[in-house]
Amino acid sequence: MSKKVFLLVSLLMMVAALVGGLAQRVQAQQPTPSDNDVNRVARQLYCPVCENVPLDVCPTTACQEWRELIRLKLSEGWSDEQIKEYFAMQYGDRVLAEPPQRGLNWLIYVLPPVAILAGAVLVIRILRRMQAKPTPAEAAPAVLLSPEDEYLKRVEEELKRAEKSGR
């Protein structure tokens, strides 16, 4: 009986140790945001107080604190978009590497393609016109003579006739 109890206790202890070990291992594998995770978000943001310095490479203490803030938000389960929105709300849209598609910002997205399209249409039109333009040899038969030219032609003919009759 005591042997059975001893075995049972031993078994329970082993199970407890195993579960404890697993729990510890699970705890150790808790997804703490790594530097890569933080930098993934930070490179989509700019330092709010420096001039044109992406947050992932900004060397100042303030930037280090903002990166820690990103780490904190990531550890709280925030998505990249939520963090970016939070930064924009706190410090303004200027901290976003990519301007949000709202307000007048949409012009940034619309104007370049429209300008490129308009340019392409213009180039195509010019090229077509250049292709359609006849060579001087081809153009010769198409020449229409103005009334003035008719008059010149007649003058030339008369001169030729006069020259012949003069011989």
- Distance, CA of 158 to CA of 163 (rounded, Å): 9
Does 146 participate in binding another protein (rule CB under 8 A)? yes
Q: Toward another protein, which CB reaches closer, 79 or 90? A: 90
Taking the complex as a whole, how short is the minimal distance between the CB of residue 144 and another protein, in angstroms?
5
Q: Toward another protein, which CB reaches closer, 17 or 139? A: 139
* Polymer length in residues for the chain: 167
Taking the complex as a whole, how short is the minimal distance between the CB of residue 147 and another protein, in angstroms?
12
- Considering only 65, 81, 157, 158, the residue that binds another protein (CB under 8 A) is 65
**Cβ burial 98-135 (10 Å sphere, 16+ → b, else e):** ebeeeeeeeeeeeeeeeeeeeeeeeeeeeeeeeeeeee
Does 37 participate in binding another protein (rule CB under 8 A)? no
- Considering only 9, 62, 108, 126, the residue that binds another protein (CB under 8 A) is 62
- Considering only 16, 18, 110, 152, the residue that binds another protein (CB under 8 A) is 152
User: Which region, left, alpha or beta, applies to residue 77 given φ > 0 means left and ψ of -120 to 50 means alpha?
Assistant: left
Does 66 participate in binding another protein (rule CB under 8 A)? yes
Does 149 participate in binding another protein (rule CB under 8 A)? yes
User: Other C-beta atoms within 10 Å of 42: how many?
Assistant: 25
Binding stretches for another protein (CB under 8 A):
48-49, 61-62, 65-66, 68-69, 72, 88-93, 104, 107, 111, 129, 136, 139, 142-146, 149, 152
